[in-house]
Amino acid sequence: MLLRFLVCAALLVPAGTTAKPPTASSRPSVRETLDKIKQQCGITTGQFSYDDDRISFIYDGMIEAEKLDCARDLTELVGVSFRTYDTSAPYSGPSRYVVKGHPKRMDAVASAALASRWTITHRADGPDGMTFLEIETGKTLSRREVREFLDRFKGEFSDVPVGLAPRTLAGYDQPAPGTAFRASARQMYEDLSRPSCGAPPGFDREAMLRPDRASVVFLEQELAGKSAALHLQIAREDVAADAENLGCSWDKDPAFAKIHVEDVKNSVRVNSTRLRQLAPAVDPLPQRKSPGNAAEFRRKVRNLIEWTLPLCTYTSKGSNDAVLAAARARISAFKDDRLRGSPYALHFAIAAQDATLDRSNTVAECDNEGSESVAKLSASALQYAKKQLAGLEKVIQP
């Protein structure tokens, strides 16, 4: 299972004196500035996040100083801060993970973990002939070192489900085949759908990926009429509905452009193999006609459910469960009362399963928790949930 990284904290890099921002009518937008940074400074698209107040950049410790200076100078034009998240800094996120698989496969994972200075905190054999391991990051590892090991679950250990412990892989069971199938399918479609930007003349990414697109079409035809076909369609529609958030592959450097293409080819190869393995075990979905806006509905539900599964602690005054109890109850009531008997009920369940699995495979870096009261945070969370549910209500209106 692929792991996703979420930056919840950023390492501030001294930026010197910030220039007074121009007037709103004369300054470019944050989005326009971000595009300029990509074009003029040569920093990869996927390494950025932004809002109205700041542009954040994931720094791998090897970007030239002049590129950072270039980006910082451009952000001054819109009066926002430029923050870098330094992967060479000490890792401070969740430290315990759980993996499960055949005993010999777990031996390989354990050896790799120990070689990467991780610790095996628990090992047990289940009645189903499978073995699970709890592994913990080393105390002195950097963010980059943790990521490099976890990235191996995208490659040599791509057949091994991995997630945060103890909340993930409930009871140390693997996710339902249909959920795991959709996760692999979405990853494949996302990688194949991501466009190229900044490519040098003569570099034709589409031509290079044409055989891979053909192999995916062949896979779709192979699974047509089988239980897995609808799951594959849902994953494809989900990626299309969220296309604007895919970003693009920054291919200005020819060497890296070729590497990016090879990464996509590997994704298609690994995930298509995984899909063929899972397909026979995937349960059929009800053959009820889906609403035309089902993909939009699922996207909103996934975002909502992910929000109810925070990776970082809200406050030192109480648990996240206490903070979110009222919001979760309101969401559950919406599901049970508003969706019962409607075609959207199935799509809510699918999106919730997908979001939960995706969240369990997300690694976060966390700031120190605040000290606000649980009551105040709970009221704010409930208001947010009501707002999101109102948005869902608009989607399902006839």
For the chain, list the domains and their CATH numbers.
4-86 (no CATH), 96-172 (3.30.70.2030), 177-281 (no CATH), 294-396 (no CATH)
Q: What are phi and psi of 41, to 5 degrees?
A: -100, -15
Contact at 8 Å (CB) between 83 and 12?
yes
Count of CB atoms within 10 A of residue 93's CB?
21
Q: Model confidence over 204-221: pLDDT tens digits?
A: 999 999 999 999 999 999
Give bridge partners of residue 50 from the DSSP assignment: 55
Cα separation, 109 vs 204, whole angstroms: 38
Count of CB atoms within 10 A of residue 315's CB?
17
Share of the chain above pLDDT 70, in %: 81
Distance of CA 68 to the CA centre of its chain: 25
Give the pLDDT confidence score for residue 127 in this predicted structure. 67
Give the pLDDT confidence score for residue 367 in this predicted structure. 62
Across 114-118, average pLDDT: 93
Share of the chain above pLDDT 90, in %: 39
Give the pLDDT confidence score for residue 214 in this predicted structure. 97
pLDDT of 350 higher than 70? yes
3-state secondary structure of 9: coil
Average pLDDT score, the chain: 81
3-state secondary structure of 370: strand
Cα separation, 165 vs 158, whole angstroms: 18
Contact at 8 Å (CB) between 391 and 334?
no
Count of CB atoms within 10 A of residue 67's CB?
16
Q: Model confidence over 62-113: pLDDT tens digits?
A: 567 777 778 777 777 667 777 666 677 788 777 788 888 889 999 999 999 9
pLDDT of 174 higher than 50? yes
The confidence band for 345, taking pLDDT boundaries of 50, 70 and 90, is: very high
Cα separation, 292 vs 396, whole angstroms: 10
Kindly state the DSSP code that residue 93 receives in the 8-state scheme: S
pLDDT of 296 higher than 80? yes
Least Cα distance to 67 among 57, 52, 77 occurs for 57
The confidence band for 324, taking pLDDT boundaries of 50, 70 and 90, is: very high
Q: What is the pTM of this model?
A: 0.68
3-state secondary structure of 368: coil
Give the pLDDT confidence score for residue 153 in this predicted structure. 82
Give bridge partners of residue 86 from the DSSP assignment: 59
Sign of torsion, CA 251 253 255 259?
negative
Least Cα distance to 223 among 270, 277, 261, 174 occurs for 277
pLDDT of 330 higher than 60? yes
Which distant-in-sequence residues (6+ apart) come within 8 Å of 329 by Cβ?
none
- Between residues 271 and 398, the one the model is more confident about: 271
Cα separation, 112 vs 96, whole angstroms: 16
Q: For the chain, how many residues are written?
A: 398
